[in-house]
Amino acid sequence: MKKFLIVWLAFSFGYIAHDVINKTISPAHADVAGLDSYDLRFDKDFKQAVKYIVHAETAEMDSKISNLQNEVSFITRNLNDLDRNVTYLDGKVTNLENKMTYLSVQN
C-alpha cells in the first residue's frame, strides 16, 4: 500500500511539474518592430525588457516550486503517519488473533 502511494505521489508530482513548465515556458518568436533575432540580441532596451520578464517569471516559478515542495513534504509526513498507524493496527489485530486462538484452545 505504501509503495503504491509513493508511486502515485511521484507520478502526480511529475504530472504537475510538467504542466507548470509547459504553461510557463513557450516558444520564442523573434520579430519585434521589424527586428530579427540577430538585431534583437544587440538591442539594449529589448535585452532589459527580457531580463525583467525572465526575473519576474523566475520568481513566480520559484514560488510555485516552493509550494509544490511544501505539498510533497506534507503528503510525505501524512504517508509516514499512515504507515505508523497501519503498523500499530497490524500489531493490534495480531494481538487480538492470538487472544482469540488462546480462548478457543481454552474452551
| CA distance linking residue 34 with residue 80, whole number of Å | 58
The model's pLDDT over 62-97, given as tens digits with 9 standing for 90+, comes to 888 999 999 999 999 999 999 999 999 999 999 999
The model's pLDDT over 33-53, given as tens digits with 9 standing for 90+, comes to 777 777 888 889 888 998 998
Q: What is the dihedral of CA 87, 92, 94, 100, to 10 degrees?
A: -170
The C-alpha cell of 23 is what?
504553461
DSSP single-letter state for residue 31:
-
